[in-house]
A = this chain, B = another copy of it.
Amino acid sequence: MTEAVAEKIKPAGKKIGRQSLMMEKKAVLLSTATVAGPKESAGPLARYYDRLCTDNLLNEKSFERAECHMLEEACFLSLGKAGLTPDEIDLFIAGDLLNQIISSSFCARKLALPFFGIYGACSSLVEGLSIGAMLLEGNFAEHILIGTSSHNCSSERQYRYPTEYGYQRPGYSQQTVTGAGAVVLGPSFHEGPRIESITIGKIVDPGIKDPYNMGMAMAPAAADTIYRHFTDLKRDPEYYDLILSGDLGEVGKQLNEDILERKGLKLNNYTDCGVQIYYPHQKVNSGASGCACCALVFLGKIYSQMMQQELRKVLLVATGALHSTTTFQQGESIPGIAHAISLEI
């Protein structure tokens, strides 16, 4: 390539600071769809979900099949809402909590689309949105479908114990959400919330070794990414109508606020997806977690509020705990990560 050609190609994105990127041609969230499990459907956000499931199995033979079923439904629902057929989608990006992200891979088999699997645990939705927004801005795709899912029964038996054991959980534990969410990203001339900036997270490991204590394992990563976002973009928290973390729950949310306050960052307009999914009487200890936690709250409630212009500027920070049962059994601590995107309408 000659220098002249290099000159002609204008930078599409722009790196700001160490970890953040400002988008120019802002990818639009054309449509979203959410499928919620029975416990989630009995929660306070039920009216924002597209499909309310009455049982955990959806007539499938296993919880894993049921989770995949939910993800497939969310994908097809979001395509329908965007008025697109699978043929019009250039790329499917998905990730989930199960070993070898089987829900995503088997959903990709059904969709028969070019597919990139990702793994960021509960940060997968924002990892997918970040990669998707960059690929759209770089003109590598026109429409990208992004999906994620989690299922309480499949992930509890994989990470901890089968739920049928009825084991006791500590007060700081969280309930893995049963559900799935999907979103279609499209070019900037459409209407809808736009991805304005991205802050890619680094791993922060506070040394927590207890796989029930997800909130504390992930909160330092959330605080790090949020702090980095405001430093890189030279913004104040007041810039946003809402700052929303992924699934820290009560315990992690408090720790995140504490860390940030000690760094001089006071979040007034801040909440966490994990404290929104269930009523207090649903007894979920510290709140909700799982890939679907952030998906149900953001792609359900917040997307709807943005479309109605009740919220105009939102910072979404999804958090993930990147351990496995093997690393836990080998005495390793739990590495946390958080990715952030800012959205505007």
> What residues make up the interface of A, taking CB atoms closer than 8 Å to B?
1, 5-6, 8-15, 18-19, 21, 24-26, 61-62, 64-65, 90-91, 95, 98-102, 105-106, 108-109, 112-121, 127, 130-131, 134-135, 137-142, 158, 188-189, 200-203, 205, 322-327, 330, 332, 335, 337
- How far is A14 from B139 in the complex, measured between Cα atoms in Å? 7
Residues of B within 8 A of A109 (CB): 203, 205, 335
Residue of B nearest to A61 (CB): B330
- How far is A135 from B6 in the complex, measured between Cα atoms in Å? 16
- How far is A140 from B133 in the complex, measured between Cα atoms in Å? 11
Q: How far is the CB of A182 from chain B (nearest CB, A)?
A: 17
Q: How far is the CB of A71 from chain B (nearest CB, A)?
A: 14
Give the top 5 A-B pairs by smallest Cβ distance, nearest first: A138-B138, A105-B322, A114-B200, A11-B139, A100-B324
Asked whether A9 lies within 8 Å of B21 as measured between CB atoms, the reply is: no
Residue of B nearest to A327 (CB): B102
Residue of B nearest to A159 (CB): B100
Pairs across A and B, CB under 8 Å, 23 listed: A1-B24, A1-B25, A1-B188, A5-B24, A6-B25, A6-B188, A9-B24, A12-B139, A13-B138, A14-B139, A15-B141, A21-B140, A64-B326, A65-B330, A95-B119, A99-B99, A100-B322, A102-B323, A112-B202, A112-B203, A115-B202, A134-B134, A138-B139
Beyond known contacts A118-B119, A135-B138: 12 more, CB 8 A cutoff? A6-B188, A12-B139, A12-B140, A13-B140, A62-B330, A98-B326, A99-B324, A105-B203, A105-B322, A105-B337, A108-B202, A108-B337
Residues of B within 8 A of A120 (CB): 116-117
- How far is A109 from B221 in the complex, measured between Cα atoms in Å? 11
Residues of B within 8 A of A330 (CB): 61-62, 64-65
Residue of B nearest to A95 (CB): B119
Q: How far is the CB of A123 from chain B (nearest CB, A)?
A: 9
- How far is A202 from B120 in the complex, measured between Cα atoms in Å? 21
Asked whether B100 lies within 8 Å of A323 as measured between CB atoms, the reply is: yes
Asked whether A115 lies within 8 Å of B203 as measured between CB atoms, the reply is: yes
Say which residue of B8, B18, B102 sits within 8 Å of A10 (CB atoms): B8
